[in-house]
Amino acid sequence: MSGGTGAARARWSRRGFVGALGAVAAGGALAACGDGSPGPGPASPSGSSASAGRDGSAGSSPAATPAASSTGTPAARPLFLGTYTSAEGGGRGIGLAAYDPVSGRITGAGTLTGVDDPSYLAVHPDGRTLYAVNERERGSVTAVRIADRKILGSRPTGGAQPCHLSVHPSGRWLLSADYGSGTVAVHRVGASGALGERTALVRHTRPAPGPGQQGPHAHQVVTAPDGGHVLAVDLGTDTVYSYRLDDGAGTLTEVAQARTRPGAGPRHLTFHPGGRYAYLADELDDTVAVCAYDPVTGRLTVGAPQSTGSGTRKGAGANYPAQFAVSPDGAHAFLANRGANTLARYAVEADGARLRLLGTVPVAGDFPRQIALAPGGRLLFAANQRSGTVSVFHVDPADGGLRRAGEPFASPVAVCALPL
């Protein structure tokens, strides 16, 4: 983690950070966020805090230990930050931080080194293990035990440049998408959270990619709310593939394909809590779409293109929508716009079947690659790749309004922010 230091800016010790993470793991279900009231001040950049090595050992920076106050103030929550270690000015591994669930203030806590190009992160449903892609030509995925930050090992994906991963709700399977090779992999997850051998590898070969899309590019893989189907979004083939997952063998069988408009370049799909609709961000043509989902067949039906609110056109100043986040109650959806550098806000209507654009707010950073809501949905985090910052917003549950929670937090080549 990079940024300035200050005498009054306390940093976490390994003991304090692990204590907070241990509380999350022991609790299983994540606690809700605070009431969204303004905090004591802006979020600050991290200091020159110590790193944890490949064996999970920690550095020796002195620090303060966060804890709940005698007045019952919520304790700080863990925040993990993804980056590109191979990029100029990039990070040295997975960024370790914490955030105040009321004010949104972020405090840096060092770096977990020994994980190359961890551009996307996910956590096991039991809260005990963190997973990262290693977005390199020979792709792999890595497991990290949260309690002591011990790296549990890596496994090859069998493809190139993995850019997304997710854990099946059963906790038994890790799913990953390889952008460079257009492949999707499944790995078995052991009782300890460590990864076993790969059980499946599927390659997107049909339909043929459109002009200028240079082959298949699997950009995301996610389990549908029914738990039995896995959906893979491929930017290069303008297709969302539906697979049935064999929960015993960890294999994938294709059951349906959903085509977007040619050249749309679908990037990221986010389900509504009701499980019958999902929202698709199309990177290349700067549109979004509401998709109907059939949990019986796993079939997705892509709706008509809608505005991202970017107000930009192709060429100079083009916009590339990144991903949606949907509020836990399903009433609002938020979209990261790279290029316009805004967050679009939508009202979700008709039990998920309609999106109505309410407006946009500046993200206070450059190129928001990824967004995430904290548990409870009262805080939204945006990882801004080009400015190397993480912006935090309070979310008004009544109307989905976004209010910035202080100044952005400095984090080198920030491409993923995972609040627990």
> pLDDT tens digits for 222-268?
999 999 999 999 999 999 999 999 999 999 999 999 999 999 999 99
Nearest one of 123, 80, 72, 79 to 105, comparing CA atoms: 79
Q: How far is CA 137 from the centre of its chain?
A: 21
Pairing type for strands 106-113 and 121-123 reads unpaired
CATH superfamily of 80-114+308-419: YVTN repeat-like/Quinoprotein amine dehydrogenase (2.130.10.10)
- Per-residue tokens: 98: 């914490």
- Per-residue tokens: 14: 């390994």
Nearest-angstrom CA–CA distance, 130 and 193: 9
Mean of the per-residue pLDDT values for the chain?
A: 86
Task: Say if residue 113's pLDDT is above 60.
Answer: yes
Q: Is the Cα dihedral 308, 278, 161, 416 positive or negative?
A: positive
Nearest-angstrom CA–CA distance, 270 and 274: 12
Note the pLDDT of residue 313: 54
Nearest-angstrom CA–CA distance, 261 and 155: 35
The model's pTM is 0.85
> Are the C-beta atoms of residues 382 and 336 closer than 8 Å to each other?
yes
Helices (H) and strands (E) in the chain, counts: 1, 30
For residues 9-30, average pLDDT: 36
Task: Say if residue 118's pLDDT is above 80.
Answer: yes
For residues 112-134, average pLDDT: 98
Nearest-angstrom CA–CA distance, 211 and 206: 14
Got the DSSP string for 197-210?
EEEEEEE---SPPP
> Are the C-beta atoms of residues 306 and 288 closer than 8 Å to each other?
yes
Nearest-angstrom CA–CA distance, 177 and 204: 11
Nearest-angstrom CA–CA distance, 379 and 388: 19
For residues 391-407, average pLDDT: 97
Got the DSSP string for 371-411?
EEEPTTSSEEEEEETTTTEEEEEEE-TTT--EEE-SSPEE-
> Are the C-beta atoms of residues 156 and 134 closer than 8 Å to each other?
no
DSSP state of 12: B
Nearest one of 328, 327, 323, 398 to 363, comparing CA atoms: 323
